[in-house]
Amino acid sequence: MKIYKIPEKLQTIIFDIDSTLYTNAAYAFEQVDCQVREYARITGMTADQAREKVLNYRKDFAAKNDGKKVSLGNTLLSFGIPIEQSVEWRKTLLEPKNFLGRDEKLIEKLTELEKKYKLICVTNNPVLPARKTLDAIGVSDFFPDIVGLDTCFKSKPALEPFRKACEITVTAPENCLAVGDRYDMDIALPLEMGMGGILVTGVEEVYRLPV
């Protein structure tokens, strides 16, 4: 866990979902790979060719942008796949209950946090699979609102999803804390917006959030 900043007057915690509120390498891989395989199918590539194309694009992006990462949605967008198409793929291809189960430790932690703060999720998945993920791990009730890829049709890192989270929770950015597993996607921009930020390596560190 790396704590960048915790607001003095913390009111809202903005959670990433995938690889933040659960730790499951197989599902993390499948979320990306199912879309890469679909891209391969519609373009006539093999799955391995599509994987290599995605990998090479991401390596090139990082090399040209000081090591920063690029989301899969924005990678596919660069290949001519609109965000709206990515949304539909994720809605139909992702089934988190096949990989994830109820997490009592997370439920205990969120019960504690809910007493003090507003909780909301901002994810690069559409709202439907994101909600299915929260259902699968047993924490959906803690998050009445999800800002997903189909909320703003912008993929993190982008201002719009985080602004929307502030709008929904009626919270100024300086009173928000972003928690996620990828610095470039989940933490860097919120810090620029004046929010706090905590980088985690998985749900095991969410159990120990110092707020």
Listed in order, strand segments (DSSP E) in 113-183 are 118-122, 146-147, 176-180
Q: How confident is the model at residue 124 (pLDDT cuts 50, 70, 90)?
A: very high
The CA distance from 202 to 195, in Å, is: 21
Q: How confident is the model at residue 143 (pLDDT cuts 50, 70, 90)?
A: very high
Q: How confident is the model at residue 138 (pLDDT cuts 50, 70, 90)?
A: very high
Q: What does the pLDDT look like over 147-186, one tens digit per residue?
A: 999 999 999 999 999 999 999 999 999 999 999 999 999 9
For the chain, the helix, strand and coil percentages under 3-state DSSP, each to the nearest 5: 55, 10, 35
